[in-house]
Amino acid sequence: MIPVGEYEAWSRRYQEAGIALEGREDLVEQVANELEQGLHLLGATAIEDRLQDGVPETIEDLKKAGIKLWVATGDKLETAIAIGRSTNLIATDSNIIIIRGTSRRPVHAQMVDTLDRFFSEHATAGGHTALKTSTEGIIPLQQINTGVSSIVGPENGERPGGFILVVDGAALLEAFGDEENKSILLRLAVLCDGVICCRVSPLQKALIVKLVKDGLGAMTLAIGDGANDVSMIQAADVGIGISGEEGMQAVNSSDYAIAQFRFLKKLLLVHGHWSYARNGMMLLNFFYKNIVSVGVLWWFQIHDAWSAYHVFDYVYILFWNSLWTVAAVVGIGLFDRFLEDSHTLMEVPELYRYGREGHWFGLRHFIIYMIDGVVQSAVIYFLILYTYMSPTAREDGYDVYLYEFSTVMAISAVLVANLFTGLNATAWTWWLFFAVFIGIIVQWVFTVIYSLVSPNYAVTKLYGNNYYLFHSAYFWLSLSLTVIIALAPRYLWKAWKFGFNPGDLEIFQLLQKNHSSISQDHKDGRRWYQDEVVRTDMVTGITSVDRGFDFATEEHGVEMQRVKSNLSERRMNKRLGFSRSPTSKGKSAFSSLSRAFLRKTASPTKPPLE
């Protein structure tokens, strides 16, 4: 303890030193040293910069999904490597390659030497030609002298776990100043399993994203939580902001906002994967259905001397994309899911490769769908045309009118287009069922009503079709044959794919369909996981969804309810004159434990997946 008189005298000297015009820093330090004598350390306080929950698991699963991870941080090199180890970006058997701008050797020489030492088969490849070269094969491992052997550990360069590139801001500054250095840096980064950039400025973060996006032509995603990440988020194709302790600047500048980093896993592996599949299938089916209608019109031109006359009534062309076929395509874009249970995508991140490899959209798939449309339009046109080219299809013996059999083509085209779109869907929910059949129903109702309109009210070309079509065997036979023949190739291909040549995706779809217990077990596991995350309070029984202490201490928060419960319990015990015995407390704990055990044993057993 410092006496009051001694402290007041010292305080006056400290204030005089603080306002001195000359030698202020030396005087302040001298006065401070007078007080800091003979002290005993009783304790210390520090601020711990911990990782959020689930960050290591999320990064590990993203690596399994085949996503290349770059970490850009302002921390020093030692801290950045420690972060890489704690987040599973650097595995225990990973080799660390360090490129430092403060080294005695130039950055260019360090990168070239690294390529020669560890990737000799790629060192001589020039330009961007070797950027997408596979890294499979035997890599000659040699030990590299990084100058930080205590950080990288012994046997660095001889471990079998691949390489992690660590670059500091000074090295990036030199590398970005030359196109050749940028090309070498990018080539070296692609050959490594991960990249950590330390001591980088906000501008350098944006330049890193631009280097990958322009150099590889790859889709880039940037995620950050602070104002220093705004330039990086805006430079990427997809920007994600985390609403954390560093303000809302990153969130306001991003495309998507999440509360914690671990939510990135579900955003990418589930919602991003579903969204890509839905949009890819929607685009393919949208182009396909237009090929069907245009194909029927085009085949008719062969028999009409290329007069540009419409084979069926123009009203069917007018409503083709607005009423008859639009709902089915939009239904796939909104409701389809190639795996209905999101838990499978979360547990098996390797399935994300279907999105990276363009499984649902590409030039090959586009050509196949266009061929489907052309073939199906030919089946619809020629089969119906030659069916009605008999002596007559009417009971009265008169010739068949053009709009009589062409209306059959229009109805058959809508049936084939919508059912083909539904055949390409995976999750047949009630909404998707409604989207596929609503256009068919609307067209049939419109055809009936339009055929009943008398020429006394409006001039129509379909008056009386309800009588001639619906009472004719040609009509029903043509519809059934065209639908079956047009859809048969796609149906047979899907049957062969699932039955004789299934991929990983088809296997999981089959397991999900045949083993409903898997889905139920996933749901039980998800509920158990959520119960752990949300932190149910054992005193009040209130479930807290808040991650921080401040929210829990609000008026209706868990902490305040706990305080109220304790006060009420003490007040009641004081009135009744007893306290809870240890025996009753043990019984209560045993009852809670038995209920938890029953809940776990009641859940279905997960069958093994092979």
Helix (H/G/I), strand (E/B), else coil: 196: strand
Q: Which pLDDT tens digit goes with each residue over 384-422?
A: 998 888 766 666 666 667 888 899 999 999 999 999 999
Please give the Cα distance from 546 to 561 (Å, whole number). Answer: 14
- Tracing tokens 């590990």 back to the chain, one arrives at 60
Q: Is 541 marked as binding a ligand?
A: no
Asked if 203 and 173 touch (Cβ cutoff 8 Å), the reply is no
> What integer best gives the mean pLDDT of the chain?
80
> Can you give the pLDDT at residue 237?
95
**pLDDT interval class at 154 (50, 70, 90):** confident
Asked if 509 and 339 touch (Cβ cutoff 8 Å), the reply is yes
Please give the Cα distance from 296 to 489 (Å, whole number). Answer: 19
Considering only 49-53, 470-474, 575-579, which range has the smallest mean pLDDT?
Answer: 575-579
- Tracing tokens 């949300």 back to the chain, one arrives at 534
Q: What values do phi and psi take at 426, rounded to 5?
A: -110, -45
Tokens of 227: 């104002």
Please give the Cα distance from 76 to 94 (Å, whole number). Answer: 20
519-536 mean pLDDT: 45
Q: In this structure, which amino acid lies at residue 75?
A: D
Q: Is 429 marked as binding a ligand?
A: no
Q: Which pLDDT tens digit goes with each residue over 461-476?
A: 888 888 888 888 889 9
CA 523 to chain centre: 20
| Cα-based angle 117, 119, 123 (whole degrees, multiple of 5) | 95
Q: Is 74 marked as binding a ligand?
A: yes
Q: Is 229 marked as binding a ligand?
A: yes
Please give the Cα distance from 147 to 373 (Å, whole number). Answer: 64
Q: With a cut of 90, say whether residue 484 has pLDDT above it.
A: yes
Q: With a cut of 50, say whether residue 86 has pLDDT above it.
A: yes
> Can you give the pLDDT at residue 526?
45
| Residue from 248, 244, 214, 220 nearest 234 by CA | 220
| Residue from 30, 24, 26 nearest 10 by CA | 30
Q: In this structure, which amino acid lies at residue 581?
A: S
Q: Which pLDDT tens digit goes with each residue over 311-335?
A: 888 999 999 999 999 999 999 999 9
**pLDDT interval class at 160 (50, 70, 90):** confident
Please give the Cα distance from 122 to 116 (Å, whole number). Answer: 8
Considering only 348-362, 396-410, 487-501, 559-573, which range has the smallest mean pLDDT?
Answer: 559-573
Q: What is the pTM of this model?
A: 0.71
User: How many Cα atoms sit within 13 Å of 109 on the Cβ side?
Assistant: 5
Show Cβ contacts of residue 12 under 8 Å, excluding neighbours closer than 6 positions: none
> Can you give the pLDDT at residue 479?
95
150-161 mean pLDDT: 76
**pLDDT interval class at 310 (50, 70, 90):** confident
Q: Is 228 marked as binding a ligand?
A: yes
Q: With a cut of 80, say whether residue 110 has pLDDT above it.
A: yes
Q: Is 521 marked as binding a ligand?
A: no
Asked if 51 and 87 touch (Cβ cutoff 8 Å), the reply is yes
